[in-house]
Structure 1
Amino acid sequence: MVKGSDILLIVVAIIFPPAAAAMITGCSCDLLINILLTILGYLPGHVHAFWLIYKRIKAEEAYGIHGYTYLGNGNFVGTGGAPPPPQQYYGSTQ
């Protein structure tokens, strides 16, 4: 489910992708990667920022709103260090 903060991140990512990356990752290697991708071409910076937003939304679905910590490289872990709960496939196979 997309919340207001996710919509704000998407709008910021459209205007200036490194700002959205900074909001998600803080001052990390992913921010530097996003800045370099944005300098190389505006579209690669967008793709990277939207990928980070997607990974953050998936972490919120798996761990809850404040139940995760960012590890870097688009990886999140639960605050207790626990893996995400198993995903339900509703009749389909993996």
Structure 2
Amino acid sequence: MSIWRVILSIICPPLAVLDKGCGSIFITFLLWLCGWVPGVIAALVILNNPER
């Protein structure tokens, strides 16, 4: 996980997980709509997952 991805996940979480698949983008976007903090947490968890 690069520093640019972390910064992008803080600014706009759905953009940070664009290459992780449609499901990840959808989940992150829904959580981001519910609130900024859940979206950021979801993006960081998805980016930190080594198997994706």
TM-score range for the pair, normalised by the shorter chain length: 0.7 to 0.9
Q: What value does the CA root-mean-square deviation take over the aligned residues?
A: 1.5
Paired residues, what number? 52
Consecutive unaligned residues of structure 1, counting only runs of 5 or more, are 60-74, 77-94
Instruction: Tell me, in whole angstroms, the C-alpha distance in 2 between the residues paired with 1:9 and 1:51.
Output: 12
Higher-helix-fraction structure = 2
Higher-strand-fraction structure = 1
Runs of 4+ in 1 over 3 A off after TM superposition: none
Higher relative contact order at CA 8 Å, sep ≥6: structure 1 or structure 2? Answer: 2
What do residues 11-52 of structure 1 show as CA deviations (whole Å, max 9, x unaligned)? Answer: 100110010011x414x1110011000001110000000001
Identical aligned pairs, as a percentage?
27
1:52 aligns with 2:46: yes
* Corresponding position of 2:13: 17
Normalising by structure 2, we get a TM-score of: 0.85
Instruction: Tell me, in whole angstroms, the C-alpha distance in 2 between the residues paired with 1:54 and 1:25.
Output: 11
Instruction: Tell me, in whole angstroms, the C-alpha distance in 1 between the residues paired with 2:46 and 2:4.
Output: 14
Normalising by structure 1, we get a TM-score of: 0.50
Of 12, 28, 42 in structure 2, the residue corresponding to residue 34 of structure 1 is 28
Higher gyration radius (CA): 1
Consecutive unaligned residues of structure 2, counting only runs of 5 or more, are none
Code of the aligned partner of 1:48:
A
